[in-house]
Chain A
Amino acid sequence: MTGEIGSDACFTDRIEPGVDELVVNVGPSHPSTHGVCRVIVHLDGEVVTKAEPVIGYLHRGIEKMAENRTYLQVVPLTDRLDYVGSMYANWAYCRTVERLAGIQVPERAEYLRVIVCEMQRIASHMMSLGSAAADTGAATMFIYAFDQREKVIEAFEELCGARLTYNYVRPGGVSFEIPEGWTERVLQFCRDHRDGLELMDRLFFGNVITRDRMKHVGVLSPEDAVAWGASGPVARGSGVNWDLRKHDPYSVYPRFDFDVPTGSNGDCYDRARVRLFECYESCRIIEQAISQMQPGPIRTPGLPRLLAPRPGDAYDHIESARGALGVYLVSDGSVRPYRMKVRSPAFCNLALLPLLAEGHMLSDLVVILGSLDPVFGEVDR
């Protein structure tokens, strides 16, 4: 069989199908590439002999754009990095700015940041589980997961008026005080969410076909996870107990009692299941944060609109839904960052795809890709 079908002119010098090999071009526009991932797959029958991800289809030059904007104007740009977890990028960027400019954040703002980010973790994991289920063909689980996510999005909409790009966490605090009765609604959501998770666990993870499809597929050893810089649920699914909330505590996280779920086999099933259990832990954190939160200011008073940190650089990272999300900023003393660099967990996790997919079937490729949970706004930046 020829490998010409589906191959791309600009890549023909690189794609050389072997004997009896079929080259399939998956993406960048494909139902289960989670955005605009393009994977050049070499197939021997149905078995993947080589999977080569091609990225860059969503490159907008956000890091470069940041150099031409003031520190406050960069926050909306960070929304567009990981567009299913905007709060994280907001927060990671703001923490770096605060470190660079030496800003102290009021305690209530830290609590609000924790609450919105844990809700964001639930929303992001629901997206991940839903699309992982859709990749295996379970359309109903997809809807159930998105139903849960919708409730978080509605709460965010009530909080800051936006459903996806929140621009909520700002250098020095957060943008809005919570509306009347919001905490009660969030607590009610946490109670309902646990039932929803229970339902999804039985419907999807308890299903024998799901187990067959996801267990022993895309096995990532703990050594490889560490060596390839995997983080978040991808690393924890392999049993690497590494969570920045515990192991490099930031904000008010040391005050909460929560566990870090880890898997043991490092397969797609464990990675997905870790995400499910993390949602329970996020509910616990939200409940504790709401009960501990005291009234007070939500922004550092007297902060200038045009921040001009002293020349220097700073790096800070937080645990996003996808792993360790870090932002590195260099200041030359002007009102604009001299350089911004984002350490994107989705990028590092996606790099594992060729390693994990080799030797599995084409149907497993999409399951593995789904279990790595890449978001291409963050991969391509």
Chain B
Amino acid sequence: MSGLAWGALYGLAAGLVIAIAALIGVWGERKVAGRIQMRIGPQELGPFGLLQTLADTLKLVLKEDITPAAADVRIFRIAPLIVFAPIAMSFVIIPYASGFAPLDTSVGILFFMAVPAISVIGVLLAGWSSRNTYATIGGLRAAAQMISYELPRTLSILPFVLLAGSMRPLDIMDEWRWWWIPLTFIAFIVYFISSIAEVNRGPFDLPEAESELVAGYFADYSGIRWAIFMMAEYGGMVAAALFGAVFWFGGYLHLPGALGVIMLIAVATLLAVAMIWVKWTFPRMRPDQLMGTAWKVLTPMALLQLVIVGVVIPWL
């Protein structure tokens, strides 16, 4: 089969996986948030309310897709896809099982850092094309925030490149040793925090801060386009959790075969639950404090981690 057909097939599979992940993610978030807030969460539709999100999605698909009269129509319509597609592509380089990553490339790490960053453009376009002050402010905030957090996030992954001497994810997994966990712990903290900021989740959800910007850059979106933004957010969260589980916790390495994949998914779920936990416990930060955290706290921490790893490597 040609490369294009493989691409289409992969796109379909990734879209399906993300859709399912988002469905379960929304349900999980509502359940976890419910427990945190002394509630039960969804429970009516299906066992434990599992079908609730499916019903909500169906409602969103059937709803009218409104385009504001003042909006820049073409950009407004395509923006959700520009946000979503790069997130979907970022799943491609993650090694899910021993010797298997959908896209086995020697620049995998670079790919994971660079491609999701494209979604910033979609967010900015969504905010700008809505011709709405809230959306504009939200879009500009999002652009500033996502670009700022790109830096500590990238720096936090570099220790693995140093340790393994390769940017190919499967090479890194071959080299992976258990003592990398304590060695790269600072980088994990940086990665975890900046990933939350990268996918615009609380306490870094300034671009969509409902208390001041109503919904930020997607304030004017409705129906399925709004759902695509939500899917991008959950997809980004799942991708970040999977990536963290693979590189910082060894992913599938600890158990053989399919058990390893299950373990990878379990660790990633724990990370995602931690992200939900943080969101529902903490208040939201202010834009200047957000920038301060990225540049004054996380970036130096990531650099310190690089220095530590650099000092340790000659003794290996």
Interface of A with B (CB < 8 Å)?
A: 5-6, 22-26, 30-32, 43, 46, 133-141, 143-144, 147, 203-204, 207, 209-210, 212-213, 361-366
Cα A137 to Cα B216 in complex, Å, equals 14
Q: A140-B37, A143-B38 are in contact. Are A133 and B288 (CB under 8 A)?
A: no
Bound: A143/B282 CA distance, A: 13
Establish whether residues A143 and B39, one from each chain, have CB atoms under 8 Å apart when the complex forms.
yes
User: For residue A23, which residues in chain B have a CB less than 8 angstroms away from its CB?
Assistant: 133
Which one of A31, A143, A147, A210 lies within 8 Å of B283 (CB-CB)? A210
Measured between alpha carbons, how far is A238 from B132 in the docked complex, in Å? 37
A to B CB contacts below 8 Å, 11 in the list: A5-B131, A31-B214, A32-B212, A46-B137, A46-B288, A138-B284, A203-B281, A204-B283, A212-B285, A212-B289, A366-B212
Report the minimal beta-carbon distance from A276 to chain B, rounded to whole angstroms.
15
Verify A140–B36 contact, CB threshold 8 A.
yes
**Which partner residue on chain B sits nearest A23 by CB separation?**
B133
Q: When the two chains form the complex, which single residue of B137, B211, B213, B214 contacts A136, counting CB atoms closer than 8 Å?
A: B211
B202 within 8 A of A: yes
Is B203 in the interface zone, CB < 8 Å from A?
yes
In which size bucket is the chain B interface?
Answer: 20 to 34
**A43 CA to B136 CA in the complex, in Å?**
13
Residues of B within 8 A of A141 (CB): 283
**Within 8 Å CB of B209, what residues of A?**
137, 363
Cα A361 to Cα B280 with chains together (Å):
23
Contacting A at CB under 8 A, from B1-54, are 33, 36-39
Q: Which A residues are in CB contact (< 8 Å) with B281? A: 138, 140, 203
Within 8 Å CB of A32, what residues of B? Answer: 210-212
Closest A residue by C-beta to B141: A46
Which of A5, A26, A210, A362 makes the CB contact (< 8 A) with B132? A5
Which chain B positions have C-beta within 8 A of A207?
282-283
- Complex contacts, A366 vs chain B, CB 8 Å: 211-212
Given that A137-B205, A140-B280, A362-B212 are contacting pairs, would A25 and B286 also be in contact in the complex, using a CB cutoff of 8 Å?
A: no
How long is the Cα–Cα vector from A291 to B205 in the complex, in angstroms?
49
B211 touches A134 (CB 8 A): yes
Q: Which residue of chain B has its CB nearest to the CB of A209?
A: B283
CB distance from B37 to the nearest CB of A (A): 4
- Excluding A137-B202, A139-B280, A363-B209, 17 further A-B contacts by CB distance (< 8 Å) are A5-B133, A25-B133, A30-B214, A46-B141, A136-B284, A137-B203, A138-B281, A138-B283, A139-B37, A144-B37, A209-B289, A210-B283, A213-B285, A213-B289, A361-B287, A363-B284, A365-B212
Kindly supply a per-residue 1/0 record for chain B positions 108-140, scoring 1 wherever the CB is within 8 Å of any chain A CB and 0 otherwise: 000000000000000000000001111011000
Q: Which of B36, B39, B136, B283 contacts A213 (CB 8 A)?
A: B283
**B206: interface (CB < 8 Å):** yes
> How many Å from the CB of B35 to the closest CB on chain A?
11
Question: Does the CB pair A133–B283 fall under 8 Å?
Answer: yes
Query: Is the CB–CB distance between A361 and B286 below 8 Å?
Result: yes
- The A-contacting residues of B in range 64-101, CB under 8 angstroms, are 70
CB distance from B131 to the nearest CB of A (A): 6
Q: Is the interface of A mostly helix, strand, loop or mixed?
A: helix
Which chain A residues border B282 with CB–CB below 8 Å? 137-138, 207, 209
Taking CB atoms, residues of chain B closer than 8 Å to A24 are: 133-134, 137
Judging by beta carbons under 8 Å apart, are B214 and A213 in contact?
no
CB-CB under 8 A from B141, the residues of chain A are 46
**Interfacial residues of chain B within 199-234, with CB under 8 A of chain A in the complex:** 202-203, 205-206, 209-214
Whether A137 and B137, one on each chain, are in contact in the complex, defined by CB atoms closer than 8 angstroms, is: no
Q: Which 3 residue pairs are nearest across A and B when measured between Cβ atoms?
A: A137-B284, A136-B283, A138-B283
Q: State in angstroms the CA–CA spacing of A207 and B285 once bound together.
A: 12
Q: In the complex, which residues of chain B have a beta carbon less than 8 angstroms from the beta carbon of A144? A: 37-38
Shortest Cβ gap from A41 to chain B (Å) = 9
A138–B202 CA distance with the chains assembled, in angstroms: 9
Contact A147 B287 (CB under 8 A): no
Pick the most buried of B132, B205, B209: most chain A CB atoms within 10 A of its CB: B209
Q: Which residue of B lies closest to A210 (CB)?
A: B283
Residues of B close to A209: CB separation below 8 A? 203, 282-285, 289
Residue from the set B37, B39, B70, B288 with the largest chain A CB neighbour count within 10 Å: B37
Who on chain B is nearest to A147 by CB? B38
A361 touches which of B36, B131, B205, B288 (Cβ 8 Å) = B288
Residues on A with beta carbons closer than 8 Å to the beta carbon of B210: 31-32, 137
CA distance A26 to B214 in the complex (A): 10
Q: How far is the CB of B40 from chain A (nearest CB, A)?
A: 13
| Contact of A137 with B286 at beta-carbon distance under 8 Å, contacts A22-B133, A143-B38 already known | no
Give min CB distance, B298 to chain A, whole Å. 15
Cβ contact within 8 Å between B283 and A6: no
Distance, CA A160 to CA B141, complexed state (A): 49
State in angstroms the CA–CA spacing of A140 and B39 once bound together: 11
Q: Which residues of A contact B203 (CB under 8 A)?
A: 137, 209
Closest residue of chain B to A46 (Cβ to Cβ) is B287
Q: A5-B131, A5-B133 in contact; A135/B211 too (CB < 8 A)?
A: yes
Cβ-closest chain A residue relative to B134: A24
Contact B287 A6 (CB under 8 A): no
In the bound assembly, the distance between CA atoms of A144 and B36 in angstroms comes to 10
- Closest Cβ of chain A to B279, distance in Å, is 8
Residues 271-314 of chain B, each 1 if its beta carbon lies under 8 Å from chain A, else 0: 00000000011111111110000000000000000000000000
Q: How far is the CB of B293 from chain A (nearest CB, A)?
A: 10
B148 to chain A, nearest CB (A): 14
What CA separation (Å) do A218 and B285 show in the bound complex?
A: 16
Q: How far is the CA of A366 from the CA of B285 in the complex (A)?
A: 13
In whole angstroms, what is the CA distance A31 to B136 when docked? Answer: 18
Q: How far is the CA of A26 from the CA of B209 in the complex (A)?
A: 14
